[in-house]
């Protein structure tokens, strides 16, 4: 194989390929190492560079969470620019952090595929809604009116404010059109969540206004017990599919709770939550 053909395979030109082949034939593996380059020799030894990297990765400066260029330069006796070059060469960025969260749900991948698939390839004649809530929004009132943005001035507002408690924001994004429906509720319970979903239901066009099986299925914030929520979601999906009456649905929920030997107070509490679902069922 000639030099040009080898160069195409490894992404270099023929001259470079020929030079490295000659060096290998003359000196073997040793000939493939970099030769001494021209210019001023390196003034910082390899051991010193290793010390800088080891110190940055394995230790912390006193009174700080991470090393900065200045603190590292002071601790090692090198210049700030030298520290910056060493960090850049090894890709060390002590000032940067990232966060992550691992799901314990055994069906997490399947759920991600289903949800992302709805966004990338929604069913025909369907509306894809992204619904979420933000609790504990502070309802603040500034003690003086804000001064608006103007030429040469930034917007200014007073430091003092009056608290009016907290509120909960519910919003739904129509992925196809970009329109957003939102509302504020004083409390943060499953009743408020269901109320917002009914508002969304009313604002959907024609036959698309059917979100009976979408609410609260996996939302642990509005479910006081995950097992009850899962069982209710399963029965709800089946009930809507076969069009059973609301009375039959309630009886199945009550029967399941009693079979679990739940105390009467818990049964009645769960049945009160089930009553909020009546609008999604036909009459017996």
User: Is residue 65 a part of any domain in this protein?
Assistant: yes
pLDDT of 214 above 50: no
Per-residue pLDDT, averaged over 45-64, amounts to 91
Cα dist. 224→269, 276, 280 in Å? Answer: 10, 15, 21
- What's the domain count of the chain? 4
Does residue 198 belong to any structural domain of this protein? yes
Q: What is the pLDDT of residue 255?
A: 80
pLDDT, tens digit, 9 for 90 and up, residues 154-199 = 888 888 888 888 888 889 888 777 888 888 888 888 888 888 888 8
Average pLDDT over residues 107-124: 82
Please report which confidence band the pLDDT of residue 73 belongs to, taking 50, 70 and 90 as the band edges.
very high
**Quick one: 174 and 132 in the same domain?**
yes
Does residue 207 have a pLDDT over 50? no
pTM score of the predicted model: 0.40
Q: How confident is the model at residue 227 (pLDDT cuts 50, 70, 90)?
A: low
User: Are the beta carbons of 203 and 173 closer than 8 angstroms?
Assistant: no
Note whether 129 and 82 are same-domain residues: no
Domain final residue pick, 149, 181, 209: 209
Domain check: are 170 and 195 in the same one?
A: yes
Rounded mean pLDDT of 68-77? 93
Instruction: Examine residue 191 and state whether it is found in any structural domain, yes or no.
Output: yes
The mean pLDDT of 17-25, rounded to a whole number, is 87
pLDDT band at 218 (very low <50, low <70, confident <90, very high): very low
**Looking at the structure, do residues 76 and 13 belong to the same domain, yes or no?**
no
Look at residue 238 and tell me whether its pLDDT is greater than 80: no
Would you give the DSSP letter of residue 221? G
Closest CA to 212 of 166, 120, 278: 278
* pLDDT classification of 67: cutoffs 50, 70, 90: very high
Residue 56 CB neighbour total at 10 angstroms? 22
Q: Which pair of structure tokens corresponds to residue 40?
A: 């001023």
Mean pLDDT of 145-158: 84
Of 163, 187, 209, which residue sits at a domain end? Answer: 209
User: 90-114, pLDDT tens digit by residue?
Assistant: 999 998 888 888 888 888 888 888 8
76 CB-near residues (< 8 Å, 6+ apart): 48, 51, 52, 55, 83
* Model pLDDT, residue 284: 54
Identify whether 244 is part of a domain. Answer: yes
pLDDT digits (tens, 9 = 90+) for 33-53: 877 777 777 788 889 999 999
**Mean pLDDT confidence for 222-234:** 55
How far is residue 279's CA from residue 205's CA, in Å, rounded to a whole number? 18
Give residue 234's pLDDT.
65
pLDDT value for 86: 93
pLDDT at 258: 80
pLDDT confidence tier of residue 244, bands split at 50, 70 and 90: low
Residue 223 has pLDDT above 80, yes or no: no
Taking the C-alpha atoms of residue 282 and residue 243, their distance in angstroms, rounded to an integer, is 7
Of 209, 240, 256, the one marking the end of a domain is: 209
Establish if 120 belongs to a structural domain: no
* Pairwise pLDDT comparison (167 vs 279), residue with the higher score: 167
- The reply to whether 30 and 57 lie within a common domain is no
Average pLDDT for the chain? 79
Q: What is the pLDDT of residue 236?
A: 64
User: Structural domain of residue 218, as residue ranges?
Assistant: 212-284
57, two tokens: 């990765």
What pLDDT does 243 receive? 63
Q: For residue 101, is it within any domain?
A: no
Task: Examine residue 194 and state whether it is found in any structural domain, yes or no.
Answer: yes
């Amino acid at each position: 194989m000639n030099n040009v053909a080898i160069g195409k395979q490894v992404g270099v030109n023929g001259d470079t390929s020929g030079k490295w082949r000659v060096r290998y034939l003359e000196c073997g593996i040793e000939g493939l190492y970099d030769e001494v380059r021209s210019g001023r020799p390196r003034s910082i030894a390899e051991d010193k560079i290793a010390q800088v990297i080891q110190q940055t990765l394995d230790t912390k400066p006193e009174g700080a969470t991470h090393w900065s260029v200045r603190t590292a330069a002071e601790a090692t006796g090198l210049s700030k620019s030298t520290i910056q070059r060493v960090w850049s060469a090894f890709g060390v960025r002590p000032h940067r952090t990232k966060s992550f969260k691992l799901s314990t749900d055994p069906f997490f991948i399947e759920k991600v595929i289903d949800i992302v698939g709805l966004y990338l390839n929604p069913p025909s004649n369907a509306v894809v809604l992204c619904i979420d809530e933000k609790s504990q929004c502070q309802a603040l009132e500034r003690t003086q009116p804000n001064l608006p943005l103007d030429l040469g001035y930034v917007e200014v507002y007073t430091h003092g404010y009056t608290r009016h408690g907290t509120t909960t924001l519910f919003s739904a994004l129509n992925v196809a059109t970009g329109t957003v429906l939102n509302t504020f509720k004083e409390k943060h319970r499953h009743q408020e969540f269901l109320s917002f979903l009914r508002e969304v239901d009313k604002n959907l066009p024609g036959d698309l206004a059917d979100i009976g099986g979408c609410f609260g299925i996996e939302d642990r914030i509005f479910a006081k017990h995950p097992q009850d929520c899962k069982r209710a979601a399963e029965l709800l999906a089946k009930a809507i599919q076969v069009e059973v009456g609301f009375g039959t649905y309630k009886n199945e929920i009550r029967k399941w709770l009693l079979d679990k030997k739940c105390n009467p107070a818990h049964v009645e509490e769960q049945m009160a939550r089930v009553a909020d679902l009546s609008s999604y069922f036909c009459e017996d």
